[in-house]
Amino acid sequence: MNAETDRASYVTRLLEDLGSIGVERGGGITRLLYSESWRQAQAFLADVMAEAGLEVRFDRVGNLFGRLEGTSPDAPVILTGSHVDTVRSGGKYDGAYGIAASLSAVLSLKERYGKPKRSLEVVSFCEEEGSRFPLAYWGSGSVSGILSPELADTAEDPDGVLLGDAMKEAGFGREDQPDPRRRDIGAFLEVHVEQGVILERTGERVGIVETIAGQRRYILTVEGEANHAGTTPMSMRQDALAAAAEMIQMLEKAAVRAGEPLVATVGRMKIAPNIPNVIPGTVEFTLDIRHLSETLLTGFCEAVLGKCRSIAVRRGLALRVQTALQSRPVPMDPLLTGRLERICRERGLAYRRMMSGAGHDAQSFSSLCPTAMLFVPSRAGISHSPEEYTAPEHLETGLDILTEMLHELAYEDPL
Amino acid sequence: MNAETDRASYVTRLLEDLGSIGVERGGGITRLLYSESWRQAQAFLADVMAEAGLEVRFDRVGNLFGRLEGTSPDAPVILTGSHVDTVRSGGKYDGAYGIAASLSAVLSLKERYGKPKRSLEVVSFCEEEGSRFPLAYWGSGSVSGILSPELADTAEDPDGVLLGDAMKEAGFGREDQPDPRRRDIGAFLEVHVEQGVILERTGERVGIVETIAGQRRYILTVEGEANHAGTTPMSMRQDALAAAAEMIQMLEKAAVRAGEPLVATVGRMKIAPNIPNVIPGTVEFTLDIRHLSETLLTGFCEAVLGKCRSIAVRRGLALRVQTALQSRPVPMDPLLTGRLERICRERGLAYRRMMSGAGHDAQSFSSLCPTAMLFVPSRAGISHSPEEYTAPEHLETGLDILTEMLHELAYEDPL
């Protein structure tokens, strides 16, 4: 076995080991923030880091760092990693791959080249998915400072447990533990599975993220009048579902016309009274819209919400629009992105510059330091599911590019 | 007080009394077949009939009859009434009005004219709504013979209670009780609240039912592919909800184009996984279509189901269609309908010949004997709700016409 194969099989093994923590009966993995399985996973990774000779540290919110000290310990740190938490019944790769690849890359650099100039740190962020508490990026957002520590006193999980209490219960949140906020980060790199079908369908090996999409989420409520399906003529109806169907049709057409990379999705819908022989009186549905340009995103949202209002008015129905989420697009660093591209070209790898439609820890860092992000293909685009899978050769490609980037940034670039 | 006012206030009082049986906390009335409140209601009506001097009889399934014996006891019986059961959280008028008006009419005829030539019977059918067991018209269908007694051995309520066991528990289903099947009925008359908005909007006082609509109910299941809302480009989606929305839009347009009295309704919809940031993979929805012409109904259903299939094929999705219900239109008797029309004209009442979009007990009888049905306005068309209301003047109009019809049929027509 050569060194490359070793490093790749190290990633695969680590994913298997990590993927055995939090397994449910149906095969899915659940590691919600500060839960028992979450604690086991962070403790396991801390052991792996320590055994590999990294300097291990947890911060106050439970982020785990493994540090390879540089010859210039005061130079900004090169940080790489991803998140250890999962959605309910998630897969083995989302988040975990970024941690495993970072660990493997840093260990192989250490083995081959010894001490870097700049310190290298592998991070296992405590939380990214937003699956337990009504917030996301608690790990990376606490490091970059975009999330306030005071959220610990307000955010509650569905059982009414306060974030701060759950944190203490898991052994964190103590004043003597290091403040998560970091001001010494020089760059952040994240590799991740794509969670989409683009790379698989185009046959490209690597996605270089240019921008993490801006996102709007709305909840639209159409109020009509519930009535007997047999005794109310078509001309006397105020059918909330017929109106919603017209809106959804219009949205789909407008999104297709707007062109890629805009995406618009109605994912959840609630109908009342939801009885076969009663005309729906109320329909509530979510609208999720994403694009890499804030201007185009805003323009699109205004246009389609305006059209939804016109549809409601024409039908004599009421429409309520609540904004549930509003996040601006986050650009990745053009210099780092350019380097990733060069590395791919040098290796003759088919790659694509692309938007990330999903949010990632990387978005917490782009206003703090140069940040870059790399995707490898996801089989059938499936994610947040036990079916999530990425072939070993793709895991290896991502690892290889990450290793090269870390080498350049930590060992080669002049201080 | 004159006699007319007396008869009308008798109806109002009876509706109040009956409406106090089965009242729930929220104000709705629930009298499911063979339940405690149902038993109380039938027992109350039996007492009222007996006190008024009618000959009271329950049959084996729990239908209650109050008979005013004619001078020619072997001549076919003139039967009039409606159903005593309600939906969950129903109103005071649906079914109950038909019983109360029939009782009032027969008692006032008895008072004014004594014994009729043909026997008159008031009926309180045990069940029409299909709200407890997965069948409807158990009362009238058992009398006319269109429903088999063997259903008692197979139909189960949601708690797994067999219809036959519930019947016995309520004191019925015994061999020594009269067989519900009747072969001595000469005509059936039913008055009912419209449960629709047509009469209120047109300002007409009376609806004369020409036909009870034929009905088809389908369950359509659209199978696409659930995927991440952020990472799946519009061109790579198999969005089951977008497809369903296109189908619903097409259905609405086709129904409007087909013209009255056709009605088509999508009332219930189930989306999976029903999460804001996941493209819906599966959508199941019901389709309820009604018309007075069997030919047009069949043609319309075939056409729109064909178009649904085309939409699915064009989008690369699978579509499954199950037929849940199929009932043919039921015409009312033209001679009786003509008489109702004449009576309205004589009284200078604005009336309309119309289709009943809802099913009624009358449809059990039209193949057995001349059958007619009369509607009075429902406020705002609301029904199957505690908000159900019909003004006393409308209750009186229906009563007046019914009384005149019963008088002609039982006292005046030659034997």
Assigned CATH class of B3-212+329-412: alpha beta
Residue A325: its pLDDT value, please? Answer: 86
- Closest Cα in chain B to A198: B232
DSSP classification of residue A412: I
The better pLDDT of the pair A1, A7 is held by A7
Does A195 contact chain B (CB < 8 Å)?
yes
Strands (E), A150-281: 185-193, 206-212, 214-223, 227-228, 263-265, 269-272, 278-279
Question: Against a cut of 0.90, is the pTM above it?
Answer: no
Inform me whether the C-beta atom of residue B286 falls under 8 Å from chain A C-beta atoms.
Answer: yes
> What is the mean pLDDT of the segment spanning B395-409?
98
Contact state of B228 with A195 under an 8 Å Cβ cutoff: yes
- Check if A232 contacts B (Cβ < 8 Å): yes
pLDDT number for residue B4: 67
Architecture of domain A214-327: 2-Layer Sandwich (3.30)
The residue of A277, A279, A373, A390 whose CB has the most chain B CBs within 10 angstroms, and thus the best one to mutate to test that interface, is A277
What local confidence, expressed as pLDDT, does residue A227 receive? 87
Q: What is the ipTM of this complex?
A: 0.86
* pLDDT tens digits, one per residue of A97-125: 999 999 999 999 999 999 999 999 999 99
pLDDT in tens, B161-213: 999 999 999 999 999 999 999 999 999 999 999 999 999 999 999 999 999 99
* Residue A198 contacts B, CB cutoff 8 Å: yes
Residue A4 has a pLDDT of 67
- Check whether A5 has a pLDDT greater than 80: no
pLDDT of B1 reads 41
* Partner residue facing B268 (CB), from A255, A274, A290: A274
Please check whether residue B281 is in contact with residue B224, taking contact to mean a CB–CB distance below 8 angstroms. Answer: yes
Whether A253 contacts chain B with CB within 8 A = no
Residue recorded with tokens 């509706």: B15
Averaged over A273-277, what is the pLDDT? Answer: 89
- pLDDT one-digit tens code per residue, A180-237: 999 999 999 999 999 999 999 999 999 999 999 999 999 999 999 988 999 999 999 9
Check pLDDT > 80 for residue B3: no
Query: Domain limits of chain A?
Result: 3-212+329-412, 214-327
As a whole number, mean pLDDT of residues B73-100 equals 96
Q: What is the mean pLDDT of residues A140-166?
A: 95
Stronger pLDDT, A4 or B50, i.e. the higher one: B50
Q: Which of B246, B198, B192, B199 is nearest to B360 (CA)?
A: B192
B254 touching A (Cβ < 8 Å): no
- Whether B357 sits inside 8 A of A245 (CB atoms) is no
User: Contact B129/B87 with Cβ under 8 angstroms?
Assistant: yes
Share of chain B above pLDDT 90, in %: 91
The answer to whether the CB atoms of B263 and A232 lie below 8 A apart is yes
Phi, psi (5° rounding) for residue B20?
-90, 0
pLDDT digits (tens, 9 = 90+) for B331-373: 999 999 999 999 999 999 999 999 999 999 999 999 999 999 9
Residue B212 distance to chain A (closest CA, Å): 10
pLDDT value of position B391:
97
pLDDT band at A127 (very low <50, low <70, confident <90, very high): very high
Sign of the dihedral defined by the CA atoms of residues A154, A384, A353, A190, in that order: positive
Question: Closest to A196 (Cβ–Cβ): which among B231, B262, B277?
Answer: B231
Q: Judge whether A57 and A67 are in contact, CB under 8 Å.
A: yes
Q: Are strands B371-376 and B185-193 parallel, antiparallel or unpaired?
A: parallel
Rounded (to 5) percent helix, strand, coil in chain A:
40, 25, 35
Q: A267 and B260 in contact by Cβ < 8 A? A: no
B276 vs A79, higher pLDDT: A79
Angle at B261 between CA A246 and CA B386, to 5 degrees: 75
- How high is the mean pLDDT of chain A? 95
The yes-or-no verdict on residue A1 having pLDDT over 50 is: no
Q: What is the pLDDT of residue B2?
A: 61
**Is B234 within 8 Å of A227 when comparing Cβ atoms?**
no
What residues of A are in contact with residue B280 (Cβ under 8 Å)?
266-267
* Arithmetic mean of pLDDT, B271-297: 94
What are the distances in angstroms from CA B94 to CA A230, B15, B33?
15, 10, 15
* Residue pairs spanning A and B at CB distance below 8 A: 210
Q: Do B234 and A244 touch (CB under 8 A)?
A: no
Residue A299 has pLDDT above 50, yes or no: yes
Give the closest-approach CA distance of B229 to chain A in angstroms. 6
Confidence at B8, pLDDT banded by 50, 70, 90:
confident
Chain B residue numbers touching A239 (CB-CB < 8 A): 252, 265
- Residue in chain B closest to A236 (alpha carbons) equals B197
Which residues of A, range 345-404, sit inside 8 Å of B by Cβ? 356-359, 381-384
A-chain residues near B377 (CB < 8 A): none
Mean pLDDT calculated for residue range B282-304? 97
* Interval B394-408 mean pLDDT: 98
Q: Chain B 50-69, CB below 8 Å of chain A: which residues?
A: none
Name which of A135, A140, A130 is nearest A153 in CA terms.
A135
CB contact under 8 A, A267 and B249: no
Region B95-105 average pLDDT: 98
- Is the pLDDT confidence value at B282 over 50? yes
Q: Which of B234, B297, B388 to mutate against chain A (most A CBs within 10 Å)? A: B234
pLDDT in tens, B266-278: 999 999 999 888 8
pLDDT bucket at B6, cuts 50 / 70 / 90: confident
Helix (H, G, I), strand (E, B) or coil at B406: helix
